[in-house]
Each structure stands twice: as C-alpha cells, then as structure tokens.
C-alpha cells in the first residue's frame, strides 16, 4: 500500500559514468502520484526537484531511446 508520505527512491541511469553530470529520477512515485521527480545529482540536498507527469516522462524516455 502506498501512503501520501512515501519518499522518493532516487536512482541514476546505469549508463551514467558517474562523472558528476547526472540526473536522478524517482520512478517509484509514478504509479501512486502520477509524477516522476527529477533532480541534479550534484545538488542532492539543496537543489531543485522538477516533477514530470508520467506521460511526459514516458514520452521523454521513448524519445531518448530512439
């Protein structure tokens, strides 16, 4: 069961070379909240978080794969 206080579980792409210029996403909130939060891995604690609707995130991922 998902609660309103569910925390994002951040991950970085396995394609990232850990050079410090990465985005982190928290896809675990997609089903329960309809959003995928994204942040800059260099500013985890104090940087902004942008939340994309799941449909927009899915379109982005599909476009990147192509």
Average pLDDT over residues 3-31: 81
pLDDT tens column, 39-57: 988 888 889 999 999 999 9
- Verdict on whether the full-model pTM lies above 0.85: no
How distant, in Å, are the alpha carbons of 7, 14, 24 from that of 65?
A: 28, 14, 17
Give the pairing of strands 23-25 and 35-40: antiparallel
């Amino acid at each position: 069961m998902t609660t309103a206080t569910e925390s994002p579980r951040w991950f970085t792409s396995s394609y990232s070379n850990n050079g410090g210029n990465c985005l982190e996403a928290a896809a675990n909130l997609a089903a329960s909240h309809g959003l995928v939060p994204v942040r800059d891995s260099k500013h985890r604690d104090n940087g902004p978080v942008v939340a994309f609707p799941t449909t927009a995130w899915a379109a982005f991922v599909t476009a990147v794969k192509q």
